[in-house]
Amino acid sequence: MVDSIKVYPAKPSKVYFYGTCLVDMFYPDAGMAGIQLLEREGIEVIFPQNQTCCGQPAYTSGYHDEARAVAKAQLGLFPEDWPIVVPSGSCGGMMRKHYPALFKDTSDEMKAAEIAGRVWELTDFLLHVCHIKLDDLGEPTTVAMHTSCSARREMGVAEVGPKLLGQLKNVNLVEQVRAEECCGFGGTFAIRHPEISGAMVSEKVDAIVDTGAKDFVTTDCGCLMNIDGYAEKNRKSLSGQHILSFLWERTNGTKGEPS
């Protein structure tokens, strides 16, 4: 489902920012970092205040009517033709890849398709639309990276995170074995199949720890919550961060929440 050919827009003066539920509830620093990175590139960020869930949990659980009702509430949030940037390959994948099918043969079919065509995963947008150049102000460090399944397979951004991290002169990026494998989160998958999910995240954490890295970054908050939570519960020497927070800290000379 990855776009065979991506046609990136010209760098815009404004974008809509779709924050996602997990950013809103658990990782607001990632959302703020994404906004500040965009603003530093000279882009005005519009945050629609009435945004809620993209509908993915219901959709992937087979409740398409319920998902459509949730997703429909998002369709009126982006009236101008500005790009819609999302700090999550998972939610971005839902909106860009699945909204057209979800609304097919409904009165909202054309609107859903138009909106889907404007959705971009944020790191991809920073690299290929903003052509961001990062000046590393941090101390030397080693990190591993995990790219979510949706970011990798639906949004096609597996190479983007490593390219952004590669601009940071003091960051040594190491890769775990089977880097492309799922961490076991998968939204409602982790709830419906906890034993399978637990086995998958155990292997993922062990693979990252085996690289020798004490820190990892990821493009999706669901993966971050899953991997970081398992590592903490099982007393693994590993700590995670959303890549947007990491990039902002390294290039703004700060540690902790964006200022």
| Helix/strand/coil for 213 | coil
Delimit the CATH 3.40.50.1860 region(s) of the chain. Answer: 141-252
First to last CA, the chain: 38
Question: Can you read off the two tokens belonging to residue 2?
Answer: 């990855």
pLDDT for the residue numbered 255: 63
How far, in Å, CA of 170 to CA of 166, rounded?
Answer: 9
Give me the phi and psi of 172, to 5 degrees please: -100, 110
pTM reported for the whole predicted model: 0.94
How would you write the pLDDT of the chain (259 residues) with one tens digit per residue? Answer: 566 578 999 999 999 999 999 999 999 999 999 999 999 999 999 999 999 999 999 999 999 999 999 999 999 999 999 999 999 999 999 999 999 999 999 999 999 999 999 999 999 999 999 999 999 999 999 999 999 999 999 999 999 999 999 999 999 999 999 999 999 998 889 889 999 999 999 999 999 999 999 999 999 999 999 999 999 999 999 999 999 999 999 999 776 444 3
pLDDT for the residue numbered 187: 83
Q: Selecting from 3.90.1150.10, 1.10.260.40, 3.40.50.720, 3.40.50.1860, what CATH number does the domain 141-252 have?
A: 3.40.50.1860
Contact between residue 220 and residue 154 where contact means Cβ atoms under 8 Å apart: no
pLDDT for the residue numbered 3: 66
- Closest-CA residue to 144 (of 227, 69, 80, 44): 227
How far, in Å, CA of 194 to CA of 168, rounded?
Answer: 37
What percent of the chain is helix, strand and coil (3-state, nearest 5)? 45, 10, 40
Angle at 13 between CA 10 and CA 14, to 5 degrees: 105
pLDDT for the residue numbered 45: 98
